[in-house]
Chains A and B, each alone.
Chain A
């Protein structure tokens, strides 16, 4: 894997500085996109879990004995209070998910743009095929 990395950077150093810079920019953008995607997946999963818990809570009687996890402890709580907290958490997660979706969209278009420019650069740099 390391030798492959060395080979790639060797190849990269033969390219004009402007193309090298664009290549690194593309890598950076792709890494940021991956990180945003991972964050969004995490937030969406959490949101899904909160929604399912809210649905289950709705099915339980109002006087049901509810517990809230605090660390490794379970503490008795009121259904109404727990529901309120979960609704608030759901709203927060929805907002975070929307923000991350916008970031994802922006990053995808930036990646596409840099990829197109890089392809143009490389077609000018690479020798004509025989």
Chain B
């Protein structure tokens, strides 16, 4: 009797724990998604700067304005780039400095991404282990109840 109640208590504890861990996994997954988007964005910006670096002053460029449409522009100062600092503030920087700054941000994001992926793997492993334990406990409780009924 006491062992059944212990099992039921563990069942309750495990199901609460599982719910919490599933929430954590969801949060981590959405964080990984956001980091992925930011990494793609920065990689794209870096590639653009690499391309601009090779262009001369007054080169003709097509700048995307959305909807697969472009406007024709002339590159006025290939060595100057405007970089966002956050909080709605941007600063003009020499192209080489801008590239270094973007590279730094990319490295930080990659580190955060690796950490988040590692955490996600750990949480997923614990969820699997807890699910297995929950299933075996459920089976034990059910069996106990059936034999108790007979």
Q: Residues of A with Cβ closer than 8 Å to B?
A: 46, 49-50, 52-53, 56-57, 60, 64-69, 74, 82, 86, 89
Contact = CB atoms under 8 A, between A and B. Distances in A.
Nearest to A89: B87
Nearest to A90: B87
B86 A67 contact: no
6 contacts: A49-B87, A53-B89, A64-B92, A68-B90, A69-B90, A74-B90
Interface residues of B, number: 10
Interface string B83-97: 011111111100000
A88 to B, nearest CB: 12
Interface in B75-112: 82, 84-92
Nearest to A76: B92
Contact of B91 (A46, A49, A60, A86): A60
A67 B87 contact: no
A72 to B, nearest CB: 11
Interface in B52-90: 82, 84-90
B33 to A, nearest CB: 17
B138 to A, nearest CB: 18
Contacts of B92: 64-67
B86 A52 contact: yes
Contact of A86 (B82, B87, B90): B87
Contacts of A60: 91
A57 B88 contact: no
A69 B91 contact: no
Nearest to B92: A65
Nearest to B80: A65
B88 A68 contact: yes
Contacts of A65: 91-92
Nearest to A69: B88
Contacts of B82: 67, 74
A49 B85 CA distance: 9
A97 B52 CA distance: 43
